[in-house]
């Protein structure tokens, strides 16, 4: 899991920078203030949880922990549901897709973020087992 989370965090970090730059330079003239704010919220949460995933990957280096794996997956799924839905909702005037169904997806992504943070907290109640393979 450690390498998977590290690789995923690297890709998600790259995507967050690219999407943030694209929004600041390419999308800005095409979005109104509310749409820009919504898009920026997606980027902010994308970045925060990419860094959280990176921390989980580093912590997994010290041993297997079920709760850390759950935290990592919560952050990944949360990024796709929460940030992804905000990206699509805020740019619907540009891509022309019907995305009303995404409205309820955003809070589901938020719940995955919360679950990831709870799992990270719970991981502090189990000791690291350094004798086991760290989950490459």
> Does residue 120 sit within a domain?
yes
Q: Is the pLDDT of residue 132 over 60?
A: no
Residue 121 in any domain: the answer is yes
Q: Is the pTM of this model over 0.75?
A: yes
Q: Is the pLDDT of residue 135 over 80?
A: no
Q: Do the domain assignments include residue 135?
A: no
Across residues 62-70, what is the average pLDDT? Answer: 87
Do the Cβ atoms of 71 and 120 come closer than 8 Å? yes
Domain that holds residue 28: 2-125
Q: How many structural domains are present in the chain?
A: 1
Q: What band does 128 get if pLDDT is binned at 50, 70 and 90? A: low
């Amino acid at each position: 899991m450690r390498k998977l989370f590290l690789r995923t965090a690297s890709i998600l970090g790259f995507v967050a920078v690219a999407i943030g730059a694209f929004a600041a330079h390419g999308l800005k003239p095409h979005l109104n203030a509310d749409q820009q704010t919504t898009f920026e919220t997606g980027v902010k949460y994308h970045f925060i949880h990419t860094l959280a995933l990176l921390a989980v990957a580093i912590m997994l280096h010290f041993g297997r922990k079920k709760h850390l794996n759950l935290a990592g997956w919560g952050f990944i799924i949360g990024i796709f549901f929460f940030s992804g839905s905000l990206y699509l909702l805020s740019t619907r005037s540009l891509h022309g897709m019907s995305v009303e169904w995404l409205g309820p997806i955003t809070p589901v992504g938020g719940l995955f973020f919360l679950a990831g943070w709870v799992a990270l907290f719970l991981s502090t109640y189990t000791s690291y087992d350094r004798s086991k393979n760290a989950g490459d």
